[in-house]
Amino acid sequence: MRNDLRLVGEMNEDFTATEVLLLGRSEIEELLNMGEAIKAVEHSFRLKTEGGTIMPPKLYLNLPQYQGDFRAMPVYIDGSAGVKWVSVYPDNWRQNLPSIVATIILCDPNTGYPLAIMDGTYITNVRTGAAGGVAVKYLARRDSSVIGFIGAGMQAKTQLLAISEVLPQIKEVKVFDLHRDTSLKYAEEMGSGLSLNIGPVETIREATEADIVVTTTPSRTPIVKKQHIRPGTHINAIGADANGKQELEADLLTGGVIKIEDIYGTLGEVVANIKKGRENDEEITIFDSTGLAIEDIICAKLVYEKAKEKGVTTFKLL
């Protein structure tokens, strides 16, 4: 790694070099595990509820001519400032590329200088899964044992990894994907890795016959019908994260027209014990997930601290 990278510009003689960590996916995979990510994300929800974060709305750069978009997600949390620059290109699978590609810059809020520049794609996948795990921990029935997945891509993998951390009594996992080969591959890979009984199903309705239903699709039309969801079910709706996307039938969400007074609270309020989560075993609970920068930066901070402890190579930003 070069250590003589220089920024062009005027600098006075009092300027001091700052060490910056460069972290790729392989290093981050060794430094961040799902159990740690769940704890970090849960902590970030609590901090946000307690007013310990600053998080402006994400900025979108829409590029419909390329069938994708970019998003800038800045935040301050827990003594760290940072930004995630992430692109979402649903058709990237055609080029054997991930649909979500991200870079995270973690900075020192005391000076404004970068502490680390790291791959954000893996962190995005893990922290989104972790958020789903936190939701299941607080909202699913404690006796939940059957999980149904609609969509069998990367996010379905991290959702299951997280749920298995907070719900050790899983007995069965059903998975549906439009591409049956993808379902079969998912069942084989995740079943052997987690020692779980995972089997592909032929229809979405079969996948919804479960205690917990997880949707991880880019669908723009509702695919989960209210009539197929049993009392007591918890739903992690992960895929509909932008305008125009929809996975759940409107009737599952108070007819689709949600007023301020219809909102019970945030997951952070439940985590912070300000409001109750599930109150009985007949309720249908829904975690409608849209990624928050607090999740990314708190996980990036954890990765940075562990990397420093292990003496990961740095370079000088002069």
Number of H helices, E strands in the chain: 8, 14
The label of the residue with tokens 């290109």 reads 89
CA 122 to chain CA mean position, Å: 10
Q: For residue 88, report the phi and psi dihedrals to the nearest 5 degrees.
A: -125, 110
β-sheet bridge partners, residue 149:
175, 214
| Tokens, residue 60 | 């979108």
Instruction: Of 210, 148, 206, 153, give the one whose Cα is nearest residue 179.
Output: 153
DSSP string, 113-131: -EEEEEE-HHHHHHHHHHH
Beta carbons within 8 Å of 70's beta carbon, 6+ residues apart = 60, 61, 63, 85, 86, 87
In the DSSP assignment, the letter for residue 261 is G
Indicate left, alpha or beta for 178 from its phi (over 0: left) and psi (-120 to 50: alpha).
alpha
E strands along 108-233, which residues?
114-119, 146-150, 172-176, 198-200, 212-215
Residue among 48, 58, 84, 316 flagged as catalytic? 84
| Longest alpha-carbon distance in the chain | 70
β-sheet bridge partners, residue 107:
81, 114
Q: How many CA atoms lie within 13 A of 58 on its CB side?
A: 21
Angle between helices 180-194 and 154-166 (to 10 degrees): 30
**C-alpha gyration radius of the chain:** 21
In the DSSP assignment, the letter for residue 273 is T
The question of whether 84 is a catalytic residue gets the answer: yes
Residues carrying an active site annotation: 84
